[in-house]
Amino acid sequence: MSPNHTIAIIDVDIRSGQDEVAREAVLARLQAFEGDCVTPLWVNWLRARADLRVVCMVHELTKLDDFLIDILREAQGVIGTRAVLSFGGRANIAHLMELPLAANGQLHAATVRIKLLPGFDTSAFEQIWALPQHPTVNLVWLLRTYHSYDADLSMLLFSEDYPAINGYITSWLRPVAGLVDSMVCDVVDWHLLASPEQMISLAERFFQFNLEENNHRQ
């Protein structure tokens, strides 16, 4: 991923009592957005917090502030935003293209924010990415999020078996050397904004980055 192809994970805080109004306002503004600087990919409703999470591909990093101010922060009922940027990571392209299945409720999903012990950043990342294939849980992407207030990595998981996700995190992920802590957030409600062509473009970006990462490790 480069500064021209950055993943932004934006949490949108909503004022109490204005949940539905804010959700509809944010969705309407995102659907009407036609700029080339940012591609909104999807929106999740974080039920436990009654807030929204917007995931975007950022093509012009210098324009991200304008997007936050003009599109998200001016929506009725929004009282704040926090953006996490990822300039690198890996994705399983086949599982990434299953995202519409998760959005339609056919797959369970969870994001895991991971803290690493300094000095273990590279080795822990590689160990996590190289974890054996789980029978029912699929690792969709593993993003580096060092420009974050609470996590060094962000992981997206899909599964047809919801309880298996917690078992995967406890028994497979957390024993990795250098992993200090993890926090899971269930992803229950989706609104997919990206077109099929935009999802293919996202997959192509990750394919190129995966190739560059592999070449760098050799």
Give yes or no for a contact between 89 and 1, defined as CB atoms under 8 angstroms apart: yes
Query: What residues are paired with 10 via a beta bridge?
Result: 54, 83
Domain assignment present for residue 1? The answer is no
Q: CA 89, CA 100: separation in Å to the nearest integer?
A: 21
Q: Do 180 and 103 fall into the same domain?
A: yes
Structure tokens at 92: 């399983």
Model confidence pLDDT, tens digit, residues 91-101: 998 999 999 99
Domain assignment present for residue 100? The answer is yes
Model confidence pLDDT, tens digit, residues 74-133: 999 999 999 999 988 899 989 999 999 999 989 999 999 999 999 999 999 999 999 999
Q: Do 71 and 97 fall into the same domain?
A: no
Residue 1 has pLDDT above 50, yes or no: no
pTM of the model: 0.89
Domain assignment present for residue 200? The answer is no
Q: CA 182, CA 79: separation in Å to the nearest integer?
A: 27
Q: Do 127 and 156 fall into the same domain?
A: yes
Range of the domain at 35: 6-86
Nearest CA to 122 out of 151, 152, 92 is that of: 152
Give yes or no for a contact between 129 and 89, defined as CB atoms under 8 angstroms apart: no
Q: Do 94 and 115 fall into the same domain?
A: yes
Count: domains in the chain: 2
Domain assignment present for residue 213? The answer is no
Give SS3 for 113: strand
Model confidence pLDDT, tens digit, residues 165-215: 999 999 999 999 999 999 998 888 899 999 888 888 888 877 666 555 555
Give yes or no for a contact between 203 and 91, defined as CB atoms under 8 angstroms apart: yes
